[in-house]
Copies of this chain bind each other. A is one copy, B any other.
Amino acid sequence: MNYYQQHREQFLEGLKTFLRIPSISTSPEHTGDVRRAAEFVAGELRAAGLDNVELLERPGRNPLVYADWLKAAGKPTLLFYGHYDVQPPDPLDEWTSPPFEPEVRNGNIYARGSSDDKGQTYILIKAVEGYLATHGKLPVNVRFLIEGEEEVGGEHIEEYVSQRPARLKSDCAIVCDTEMFAPDLPTICVGLRGIVYGEIHVQSSDHDLHSGVYGGAAPNAIQAAAEIICALKDRQGRIHIPGFTDSVQLPSEEEKTAWARLPFNEEEYRVKEVGSTELTGEPGYSVFDRTWARPTFEVHGIRGGFTGDGAKTVIPARAVIKVSTRLVPNQKPAEVIEQLKAAVKAATPKGCTAEFRTVHGAEASLTDPKNPFVQAAARSLAQSFGSETVYIRSGGSIPVVGLFDRYLGIPSVLMGFGLPDDNLHAPNEKFHLPNFYRGIEAVAGYLEALGNT
């Protein structure tokens, strides 16, 4: 047994401690927990033997956790990225075990953040810890930059990366926040969608009205919200935001051919992953196209009116629609925001006003699979998992990849260990423990391989 195999129990206990901290970055009442999670990460990095461990502070922002080990002269420098903040756990009553009391069942650990992204961040830390513990040094230079605002737009890391690029000088970023295409199929993600997240504020009156007295003559903010939603995306799944898809860059024929070779059963995907009676989306595109290479418009919730138990006969005067669009290469968030503003205005029914307000935005990104850091990662993953590495895209958004490209001029290797059914952002999020353990060894093997080149 090597060091990594000997320490599995400690790794699991450490991860559980990390998962018990409800570091929900979108909830102001969890600010203290968010800080505790940052301090936990810093403590782990210090214990692992990293140098210059530090919480990078900025008023009103969640700390970034920084650490480095830069004693491998002449060797490349890797920038390890992960995030310690998590999504809210609601709806709470759908969790089998409580979201912040990690529980192991059937080889998985269940908790909010287990896969996204505490489990994966912890892989990076434990790989370096193990290597230092067994060799006394690392074969390459490493920096860690672990953030606490990934789920809320990542403003702090954007400010830091854009303002202090010299402090982060590296040759390649290793981003551990994606998933494997299938269990036992090591995967590198070479494409991510961007995002524009925002709110549509709808107003139909200056006060709520009684639906008996005014029903038939008064506009209704939620009816208007529904009309706006349906105007922006139709029943067939086609998006109607003028200009929105004009600049979309299509995937290459080579990439589409590789996707066609991936083991994929659409019916199994529908039943086991999506859990719906039918798949939906833009007509004429494959599932990979629709989730990786096409932009989306999605509504996340509508606030306003009466939603409690029982009956209240109100005509709501105001509604707020939470929406996002996922963007693909060549779409610019700033342009999409203007397109959304115009489309919402045009779709607003009479008697109402509506306005799109941006919450955050990020560009899509692509990595060249032929990059040598990507190639080395593919070999290390193949070795640890005993299977050829595949290249996929992800429909999600990891804005930091664009930041590293723009301000540090480095590519990102998206080496993920999650699984498609990990229930990210949903109840019963889990992380597959065999991937956790093999991931630690794969990252350590990658360090070794890069040191030998």
Contacts and interface: CB of A to CB of B under 8 A. Distances in A.
Each complex incorporates copies of this chain amounting to 2
Contact of A218 (B28, B276, B428): B276
Given A28-B309, A307-B301, A223 B233 contact: yes
Interface in A194-244: 195, 197, 204-220, 222-223, 225-227, 229-230, 233, 235
B311 A218 contact: no
Contacts of A212: 193, 195, 326, 394-397
A259 to B, nearest CB: 14
A224 B453 CA distance: 54
A366 to B, nearest CB: 16
A217 B280 contact: yes
A65 to B, nearest CB: 21
A69 B273 CA distance: 69
Interface of A, secondary structure class, is: loop
A278 interface: yes
Nearest to A293: B216
A227 to B, nearest CB: 6
Contact-size category for A: 35 or more
B213 A420 contact: yes
Interface of A: 25-28, 87-88, 90-91, 94, 151-153, 179, 193, 195, 197, 204-220, 222-223, 225-227, 229-230, 233, 235, 273-282, 285, 287, 290-291, 294, 296, 298-317, 320, 322, 324, 326, 349-353, 359-360, 394-397, 420, 423-428
Closest 10 CB pairs of A and B: A212-B396, A301-B305, A26-B310, A216-B290, A303-B307, A226-B226, A206-B275, A278-B351, A226-B229, A215-B296
22 contacts: A26-B308, A27-B308, A94-B207, A94-B208, A207-B427, A209-B426, A211-B425, A212-B395, A212-B396, A213-B424, A215-B296, A215-B324, A216-B395, A217-B279, A222-B229, A222-B301, A223-B233, A226-B226, A230-B230, A276-B352, A300-B314, A301-B307
